[in-house]
Amino acid sequence: MKVVIVGGVAGGATAAARIRRLDEQAEIVVFERSGYISYANCGLPYYIGDVITDPEELTLQTPESFFSRFRVDMKVRHEVTAIHPERKTVSVKNLETDEVFEESYDKLILSPGAKPTQPRLPGVGIDKLFTLRTVEDTFRIKEYINQNHPKSAVLAGGGFIGLELAENLRELGMDVTIVQRPKQLMNPFDADMASMIHSEMRKHGVKLALGYTVEGFEERNGGVDVLLKDNAPLHADMVVLAIGVTPDTALAREAGLELGIKGSIVVNDRMETSVPDIYAAGDAVQVKHYVTGEDALISLAGPANKQGRIIADNICGGDSRYLGSQGSSVIKVFDMTAATTGINETNARKAGLDVDTVILSPMSHAGYYPGGKVMTMKVVFEKGTYRLLGAQIVGYDGVDKRIDVLATAIHAGLKATQLKDLDLAYAPPYSSAKDPVNMAGFMIDNISKGLKQWHLHDADKLPRDGSVILLDTRTAWEYSSGHIEGFVNIPVDELRERLDEIEPGKPVYVICQSGLRSYIATRILEGYGHEAYNFAGGFRFYDAVVNDRALVESSFACGMDK
């Protein structure tokens, strides 16, 4: 059996190694357009920022080491230019010699990945405008920085690459601005959770120009003007386009393979394309979202590696199936960690799901043990069924392990109420006896048993005409330091003695700093016959989101986020 693989990074390299482990006799040829195989895309920004200093650390394997271990013929700087399914060959161009030849296959695997989205705008292509996708891109940016010592950069795009590159350029001492059309960074997060990412970016000196439309680029005064619709241009010494990626599927289109979202390759759960004996994996393929079952594009390394393994199993006589992508991801944002899995509240509502959320701010470990730090968790679930749909966490310590527990719970089909039952490891330096994931489960269990909540989007709609009671249960000092207009202050520890101030028959909307004291207050109020609603997230959460919204809107109106 002869297997030809187009693309030698995540999916392609994984498939090649797995095929060899399953079939010692197979002939395996990999064609990789760049000069590198099996490289760590996710590590590229950290080389630019000198966190990773040895360029060899970016590549997990070389063609020579891969051949030595697996006897796989890795041909770098070779571009497959056409697929001929009718005769089961591919046309290949050697980019170093310009030689063109055909290679036959019994099975063909397409793992071409995705390419940086290049908008058709004036100025795209000027030499101070970069993209970051390959090792060569990384070396090009690093060489420009080392030779020209730029003092400022504009990054067009606020996704994973944009944020990671912003951090690394700031660590090099550069003035950094992120500009993009959406009014929030990191679309996998809801806007309320993204506000905390915005705060961390601003804290470290990154300027945010959110809600701006880029219309082009011009070279001026030795740098680049980023032209903005209805606003003055942004000027910088260099610009990086990081507005997303597009499946690199021209080969598949020309060969007549069925295509899906944004031209991605349609595959079944065995990773087979519409053409016999051709498989596809990675950022180029359309997948099913594990939570919604809808078609999706999810460009992450984990799914690509799994898909490569599944293809290898099936080529070698097995029957492996890809169950879908869940979108679990984590990112370092300076000192902070932000992570997500499943779908967020925004996308759940767009999908027509009837959802609710809990928002909590637990400590990363036992409060009495030194060094604990607050994290903010948002868990999304379906009303009625309590199906667990997704989660987002932003914090400093312990974020990654909690998101992985929640990702596992979603994959296992646990109900959100069952989070309370998980038996999770505890010692004071690592967690609390009631782990944050358990706490989310307790809160959702309370809701399933009748506890009522109100949310951030309700705040402006609450009547101030006396028909409802608005109650802040923090201390008098906390209240005086900032509160929501119209809320009266009765500290929770004084509530039982001051119940005569709560008029019977009126709903009571309660808030505290984190949600705990207001929860206790709602229980007290319910115990005395009142209808009470607890605010999801607490005043700390409310204040962070509202302040961020004001900064984004004012910066948009004034021309820049300072």
In whole angstroms, give the CA distance from residue 562 to residue 560. 6
In whole angstroms, give the CA distance from residue 379 to residue 389. 8
Q: Is residue 558 flagged as an active site residue? A: no
Query: In sequence order, which ranges of 23-134 are alpha helices (DSSP H)?
Result: 44-48, 63-70
In whole angstroms, give the CA distance from residue 502 to residue 494. 12
In whole angstroms, give the CA distance from residue 336 to residue 164. 12
CA nearest to 487, candidates 538, 530, 553: 538
In whole angstroms, give the CA distance from residue 408 to residue 454. 28
Residue with tokens 């997990």: 60
Structure tokens at 225: 């003007």
| Residues whose CB falls within 8 Å of the CB of residue 140, separated by 6 or more in sequence, listed in order | 130
Residue type for position 451: L
Strands (E), 445-544: 452-454, 469-472, 488-489, 508-511, 532-535
Q: How many CB atoms lie within 10 A of CB 466?
A: 10
Query: Would you say 309 and 321 are in contact if contact means Cβ atoms under 8 Å apart?
Result: no
Given the residues 42, 316, 512, 558, the one annotated as active site: 42
Structure tokens at 440: 């989310």
Terminal Cα distance for the chain, rounded: 61
Query: Would you say 7 and 112 are in contact if contact means Cβ atoms under 8 Å apart?
Result: yes
Query: Would you say 119 and 289 are in contact if contact means Cβ atoms under 8 Å apart?
Result: no
**Could you please report the per-residue DSSP string of 370-406?**
TT--B-EEEEEEETTT-BEEEEEEEESSSHHHHHHHH
* 513 backbone φψ class: left, alpha, beta (φ>0; ψ -120 to 50): alpha
* 149 backbone φψ class: left, alpha, beta (φ>0; ψ -120 to 50): left
H or E element in which residue 276 lies:
none
In whole angstroms, give the CA distance from residue 358 to residue 374. 16
DSSP-derived secondary structure letter, 289: B
Enumerate the active-site residues: 42
